[in-house]
Chain A
């Protein structure tokens, strides 16, 4: 086999997610009353990018064969925090941004420490820390409110040169600054290795714990970046339980659509980003076709159900039934 075939096989999930996104977005913009304009793209990008950040966060943890059911709550908490801190003069704003990102890192690190050093199962541990994060968010914003540095917000949610959505550029920068170095670093590989086979990784002398810890911590950071952007879009902070939960749920859907294996060790954040964008676009299809918004939750649920069932078709190709049981 040629090298490019191996590359293709490795990137299949990502490319598939990219394909789904392109098709969905084509349908979406073709049927949008305003058509394929910079405005339509900007709005779609702004909504999609939020989920993309949270999905990236989820990817990092899922790669280690874990799951982070608190990402939505970190997202909510940092949103509430940003609505207090990211305001005022340039210096104050910068300090606020750092504080918000630091909080995200800290939340991720707490999750990581509990899961890795405390040896608790990620599902239970992150549901519980999610409750704590939500409580903190509620403490900060018992009622929705607050404000944000609107210059910065408008800059990051507007367009560059009148065409390119700034939020997409921000997403690209984050990918380059966080994901690419992570995935190519020794610790990033350790995270993959631990997710694929923890025993083998240990036997091979891979720094499993540090790799996993880094993954959880960076997941917190990425969720916080998402929370920051939410504040830029809404100008307020709100401790909304349902919305936080929905983001957790959708992040998992995006990760699955993006070809990241929930069993760990396989997939990339790029795939998850396209998964997130595709998922958002599918959800918005309802609007361009003028359905009652009441149907949206059901529609998204059904899409999710279909998406996760699609993966099952590989099952019918399995000719040795023992392969059902990993």
Chain B
């Protein structure tokens, strides 16, 4: 080891190397491979329209995965995503039924419901020290129970507001779907928070060693609480967008987002044990998963085959580069 007492500038260089995380590089390489494979099947895979359409579909997952990533960086997990998504969507649509005030407040109300779920998760994890896997499963079940009681067990009849539809399907900049812009904004905010703020540093610190973070004078419980609230809010916001996309909410609309959001984060090189990972990787993971889903549906694979291939591909990609280091 070349040990040198450090001056100021010498520390800059390895940062560049750190950016080129092998996992992120591999994830992007997999995206290219998927696109090439797809283009063998159909020419339209490389067309700008198709790619933009994929990016739009990816942005719903992207928003949800952003919250998931924050929680995973803490070394926790949020399994309440399915019904946070559905609750956000249903409550936003429900608010829309209450006149013009309801329409105006539909989106914030939906997001707030998700934040509420996240707060329960956060209190459970941070203040009651319940393992996140358990408390989030429980709040997921409670949220489901509440929605079942509210809707009577059927998909609600309320439909999405115009604003929700505009956010999910409209265009503010010609050619670029609004959903993509929203994801880009949320992503940029996340990158800033993770790299430039003391909150972001604390998140990484807690993910690596909560005990040390606590003893360093960090209010770790507050950080964890906020992270879960953000995750719940982003899941619900994802639900709001999805409701806008489909014009209404549905009972099990969130089920399809749990595995993909976790997989996207982990495929992007974020350690499921916390403390390590970059948002760029999550972006790659989200796009990768979306492309995979798209290719399977374009090939008109039946649901059974889709599930099998989907699970198998995720396992094999993780085996390719998501492995823990060998012990010896």
Point out residues on A near B: beta carbons under 8 Å: 67, 114, 118-121, 123-125, 127-139, 142, 198, 202, 239, 241-242, 245, 249, 252-253, 256, 262-263, 294-302, 304-305, 307-309, 311-312, 315, 321-322, 324-325
Q: Can you show 30 pairs from A to B with CB atoms below 8 A apart? A: A118-B318, A119-B323, A121-B272, A123-B262, A124-B266, A124-B272, A124-B322, A127-B258, A131-B308, A132-B312, A135-B310, A136-B308, A138-B307, A249-B140, A253-B138, A262-B131, A295-B149, A297-B144, A297-B145, A297-B148, A299-B145, A300-B141, A301-B139, A302-B142, A308-B138, A312-B124, A312-B129, A322-B214, A325-B210, A325-B214
Contact code string B99-132 (vs A, CB < 8 Å = 1, else 0): 0000000000000000000000000100011110
* 8 interchain residue pairs of minimum CB distance: A298-B145, A135-B307, A301-B141, A131-B311, A135-B308, A312-B128, A138-B304, A132-B311
* Least CB separation from B139: chain A residue: A305
Complex Cα gap A249–B141 (Å) = 9
Q: Determine if B138 and A305 form an interchain contact, defined as CB atoms under 8 angstroms apart.
A: yes
* Chain B contact residues, majority secondary structure: helix
- Best-buried of B128, B145, B272 by chain A (most CB within 10 Å): B145
Q: Is B152's beta carbon under 8 Å from chain A?
A: yes
Return B149 CB to nearest CB of chain A, in Å.
Answer: 5
From 119 to 170 in chain B, residues with beta carbon under 8 angstroms from any chain A beta carbon are 124, 128-131, 133-135, 137-146, 148-149, 152-153
Residues on the B chain within 8 Å of A249, using CB: 137, 140-141
- Best-buried of A139, A263, A305, A315 by chain B (most CB within 10 Å): A305
Q: Determine if A241 and B315 form an interchain contact, defined as CB atoms under 8 angstroms apart.
A: no
Q: Determine if B252 and A242 form an interchain contact, defined as CB atoms under 8 angstroms apart.
A: yes
Residues on the B chain within 8 Å of A245, using CB: 255
Point out residues on B near A: beta carbons under 8 Å: 77, 124, 128-131, 133-135, 137-146, 148-149, 152-153, 210-211, 214-215, 252, 255, 258-259, 262-263, 266, 272-273, 302-312, 314-315, 318-319, 322-327
Of the candidates A128, A138, A298, the one whose C-beta lies within 8 Å of that of B315 is A128
Return A258 CB to nearest CB of chain B, in Å.
Answer: 13
Q: Determine if B128 and A134 form an interchain contact, defined as CB atoms under 8 angstroms apart.
A: no
